[in-house]
Amino acid sequence: MLRLLKWLFILAVLAFLGVAGYAYLGDLSQPATEITKQVTIEVD
């Protein structure tokens, strides 16, 4: 039982490091796009 818990802990640590590494090193930024929209303002 202790061996199984040890392997699960190691797997969880590796999964966390993989996700953290992907978040920091991977390109997760959204590409910038310009959005324009006509706005009509009614002045009395």
Residue 44 lies in a domain: no
At 1-44, the pLDDT tens digits run 899 999 999 999 999 999 998 888 877 677 888 999 999 998 87
Residue 41 lies in a domain: no
Per DSSP (E only), the strands in 1-44 are none
Residue 42 lies in a domain: no
Q: So what's the pLDDT on residue 32?
A: 86
Please count the structural domains in the chain. 1
Answer yes or no: pTM beyond 0.85.
Answer: no
Residue 39 lies in a domain: no
For 20, the domain range is 1-31
Q: How far apart are the first and last CA of the chain?
A: 79
Residue 8 lies in a domain: yes
Residue 26 lies in a domain: yes
Residue 24 lies in a domain: yes
- Tell which residue, 37, 17, 33, has the closest CA to residue 25: 17
Q: How far is CA 38 from CA 18, 23, 33, 41, 42, in A?
A: 45, 37, 17, 10, 13
